[in-house]
Amino acid sequence: MKQNDTIHAHTMQGQSAPLWRLLQSTAAAVQATRQGRSLTAQLESVPAELRPGVQALSFQVLRHLGRATALRQCLASKTPPPAVDALLCSALALCWRDADAVYPIHTLVNQAVEAARQQRSTQAQSGFVNACLRRFMREREALVQRTDTDVQAQWNHPRWWVERLQADHPLHWQTLLTLAQTPAPMTLRVNTQHQGVADYKKKLDALGVPSQAVGDHGLQLGKALPVQHLPGFSEGHVSVQDAAAQLAAPLLMQGLDKQAEWRILDACAAPGGKTGHLLELCPKASVVALDVDASRCERIHQNLRRLGVQGQVMAADAGQPADWWNGQAFDAILLDAPCTASGIVRRHPDVRWLRRPTDSGQLAKTQAMLLKALWPLLKPGGRLLYCTCSVFKAEGDETVQAFLQRNTDAHLRPSPGHLIPGQPPAGLPVDHNPLGEHDGFYYALLEKRQG
């Protein structure tokens, strides 16, 4: 989105919108995030013609909000009203460093001031916005240097988040924080019921789209594509799924006969990516996909229809089996438990600002409750794969170790544990392909002892 001196951003319809309008909606997204609303939900309220530009700017701002907040504190020690503060911080996040500026800095400043003038909630303080940003342009180098010692400004994550990563991953915390500032790659899962990974790679090569094999069924793209441009996407030949998430189904079914009529539960299944993968791997399996949110269950239905596979989808609370379980035990259970999503902050840069220090501990209680509720549903000799898209140990190793202490019939099979982006994963089959770039994840495969 690098521009010269233009103040317009092109939209999907080929029209253009003034930059000040995009900045208004970007600032509204920052304000909403600070008030606890997810960026995904906020973007749904943005007019369709503005949404692509606003999403791109919002991602950039949220990745640099720590630095921007520290700079704003230097420029105005008293916190301005929320709408004014959000607009100021948005502008500062976009222009604090030349290498990351998506527009010329003088253009960003002019258009941020115009955004303030054009909006009732900020109009009265447009002069204040102008004064702060003009001062920043004059003193930028000194102001940036002044904020360099601020942990939140340096790493663009809350201080508590940085400290937790330092404690949980003393060797890799800097890698985790650095990677969080970069866009995540687009990774595909090839449906091998239709074709092999190598065959699909040839189709991408023919389109001029470079890719590399990752995992057992994945291809990581050198550049992102709209899904409608992917060969065979609407026919279910391929799905978009991160390389770490693609491990779930193969790990759960590792060493088992894929042609057997297994009875499998996918708890907390929405949007259905892992459900679909299970049915691709085990076409004769009977898979029950649960999600507590009925609207998200529709996403599961849509995914399974596109893939041409069938599973039983139920809107129900996995933690309350008495409300939905028919008493027939499962051979295998996949529990992708609710978590802080600290491992997918590259894809969702708002997560770092939405979470609170106590969230991990509270979610760990939910995870423990779900494990306790689902374990009795598993046959002796069956297996349960526990996973989260979190890099915090309270939601991974600590949860599983506590469960093992309370359940002597549970045995921990060889498992990857915490998957750290940028580090080779452990606990995978010897012949497993490298995962390339991937999200942060946790996996523990638990087996119920016979007798």
Own/partner contacts of 115-121, CB < 8 Å, gap of 24 or more, are 115/20, 115/21, 115/23, 115/24, 115/27, 115/87, 116/84, 116/87, 118/20, 118/21, 118/24, 119/24, 119/83, 121/81, 121/83, 121/84
312-315/286-291 β-pairing: parallel
- 343, 390 in Cβ contact below 8 A? yes
**Rounded to whole angstroms, what are the CA distances from 173 to 65, 155, 350, 437?**
19, 11, 19, 16
Q: How many Cα atoms within 13 Å fall on the side-chain side of residue 236?
A: 17
The identity of residue 268, as a single letter, is C
**389 catalytic residue (yes or no):** yes
Q: By the 8 A CB rule, do 396 and 444 touch?
A: yes
296: which 2 tokens? 């998200």
Enclosing H/E stretch for 68: helix 65-75
CB-hemisphere CA count at 13 Å for 245?
A: 24
Both tokens assigned to 159: 């201080």
Q: How far apart, in whole angstroms, are the C-alpha atoms of residue 169 and residue 418?
A: 10
Contact 129, 112 (CB under 8 A): yes
Query: Active-site residue among 74, 132, 339, 389?
Result: 389
- CA distance linking residue 219 with residue 223, whole number of Å: 12
Q: Which residue has the tokens 């996909």?
A: 289
Query: Which tokens in the block code for residue 235?
Result: 């026919």
| Contact (CB, 8 A) for 445 and 255 | no
Pick from 413, 348, 362: nearest CA to 392: 362
Could you list the active site residues? 389
